């Protein structure tokens, strides 16, 4: 990328790399980048062997949360923030008193890996069975659409497929925008939103955040955000009415998390 853009490496102050799974941000090691690699990967070391600039590494949702703390004024009113990312998987991170929280062995909050079924659950990317994530991920929604188009060839989703094409992560948004309120897809999404709201409510009881920040491809649809918050308040009407916010300003800047960790780890300490 640098080569193609003719950017000389001596003009670069540092790089930020964000990745799925837990990360030891002190040494820049991806501890378990699910599905990409099965073992720990020393990303910082690899980058710094190849490039003359320093590299910061962090889990993607922790990095997004840091960008929220660095580039918005949220910390003026909320010091304890739970971030929830829906799409393609389910990610989360927590800031306590304005600091991104990491616990045992650099683990952060993992709402997506709450156990929701004891038996016959789906296999999760983390290697366990019965986690929330595989039941409500973008892939699970795509799979639901695929199955429905086969079982109901004259149904609304099958008709949508004629114009949109076979469902995939890439065109899932078109299905969400195209499906009518009465479409069977919305009853499935309500089940997904309820399951996510249920474990999020449990996390809220344990972590007591001032704000719940919603982000990710699915929450970019207002109808999905509405569905989720309705389910959350149905489960727990005692929650403060202004608890949920969307991280709207950065939804089109996918690199903002990587920028935030590079600034925070490499530049601010100088
Ligand atoms: Zn899992």
Can you tell me the distance from the alpha carbon of 17 to that of 43, in angstroms, rounded to the nearest whole number? Answer: 8
Q: Which CATH class is domain 1-72+251-270?
A: alpha beta
pLDDT surpassing 90 at residue 48: yes
Can you tell me the distance from the alpha carbon of 23 to that of 199, in angstroms, rounded to the nearest whole number? Answer: 23
Q: What is the mean pLDDT of residues 189-210?
A: 96
Q: What is the mean pLDDT of residues 58-73?
A: 94
Share the mean pLDDT of the chain: 93
Residue 109 has what pLDDT?
A: 92
- CATH topology agreement for domains 1-72+251-270 and 78-246: yes
Residue 28 has what pLDDT?
A: 97
CATH of range 78-246; options 3.40.50.2000, 3.30.1300.30, 3.30.70.100, 3.30.420.40: 3.30.420.40
For 211-232, write each residue's pLDDT tens digit. Answer: 999 999 999 999 999 999 999 9
Can you tell me the distance from the alpha carbon of 251 to that of 150, in angstroms, rounded to the nearest whole number? Answer: 34
Distance 104 CA to ligand 1 centre (A): 17
Distance 91 CA to ligand 1 centre (A): 11
Distance 126 CA to ligand 1 centre (A): 4
Residue 268 has what pLDDT?
A: 83
Distances (CA, A) of 82 to 85, 183, 203, 205, 219: 10, 32, 9, 12, 15
Residue 134 has what pLDDT?
A: 94
pLDDT surpassing 90 at residue 122: no
Can you tell me the distance from the alpha carbon of 109 to that of 257, in angstroms, rounded to the nearest whole number? Answer: 17
- Backbone phi and psi for residue 168, each to the nearest 5 degrees, phi listed first: -150, 170
Return the CA Rg of the chain: 20
pLDDT surpassing 70 at residue 18: yes
List the domain boundaries for the chain.
1-72+251-270, 78-246
Residue 248: band (very low, low, confident or very high) from pLDDT cuts 50, 70, 90? low
Distance 203 CA to ligand 1 centre (A): 16
Residue 242: band (very low, low, confident or very high) from pLDDT cuts 50, 70, 90? very high
Q: What is the mean pLDDT of residues 173-195?
A: 94
Distance 132 CA to ligand 1 centre (A): 7
Distance 87 CA to ligand 1 centre (A): 15
Residue 270 has what pLDDT?
A: 59
Residue 228 has what pLDDT?
A: 98
Distance 5 CA to ligand 1 centre (A): 38
Distances (CA, A) of 134 to 39, 115, 223: 21, 11, 21
Distances (CA, A) of 156 to 46, 94, 139, 149, 160: 49, 39, 20, 8, 6
pLDDT surpassing 70 at residue 251: no
Which has more confidence, 226 or 247? 226
pLDDT surpassing 70 at residue 204: yes
Residue 86 has what pLDDT?
A: 96
Can you tell me the distance from the alpha carbon of 78 to that of 163, in angstroms, rounded to the nearest whole number? Answer: 45
Q: What is the mean pLDDT of residues 49-68?
A: 95
Residue 44 has what pLDDT?
A: 97
- Backbone phi and psi for residue 20, each to the nearest 5 degrees, phi listed first: -75, 160
> What percent of the chain lies above the pLDDT cut of 90?
81
């Amino acid at each position: 990328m640098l080569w193609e853009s003719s950017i000389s490496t001596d003009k670069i102050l540092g790089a930020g790399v964000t990745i799925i799974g837990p990360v030891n941000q002190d040494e820049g090691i991806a501890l378990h980048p699910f599905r990409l690699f099965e073992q720990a990967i020393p990303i910082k070391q690899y980058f710094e062997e190849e490039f003359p600039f320093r590299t910061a590494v962090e889990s993607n949702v922790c990095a997004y949360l840091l960008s929220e703390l660095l580039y918005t004024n949220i910390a003026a009113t909320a010091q304890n923030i739970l971030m929830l990312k829906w799409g393609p998987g389910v990610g989360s991170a927590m800031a306590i008193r304005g600091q991104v929280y990491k616990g045992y062995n650099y683990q952060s909050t993992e709402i997506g890996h709450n156990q929701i079924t004891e038996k016959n659950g789906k296999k999760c990317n983390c290697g366990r069975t019965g986690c929330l994530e595989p039941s409500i991920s973008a892939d699970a929604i795509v799979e639901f659409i695929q199955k429905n188009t086969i079982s109901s060839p004259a149904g609304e989703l099958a008709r949508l497929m004629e114009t949109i094409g076979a469902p995939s992560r890439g065109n899932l948004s078109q299905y969400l925008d195209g499906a009518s309120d009465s479409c069977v897809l919305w009853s499935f999404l309500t089940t997904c939103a309820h399951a996510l709201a249920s474990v999020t409510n449990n996390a809220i009881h344990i972590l007591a955040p001032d704000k719940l920040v919603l982000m990710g491809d699915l929450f970019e649809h207002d109808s999905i955000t509405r569905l989720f918050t309705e389910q959350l308040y149905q489960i727990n009407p005692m929650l403060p009415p202004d608890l949920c916010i969307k991280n709207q300003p950065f939804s089109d800047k996918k690199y903002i998390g990587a920028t935030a960790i590079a600034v925070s780890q490499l530049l601010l300490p100088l």
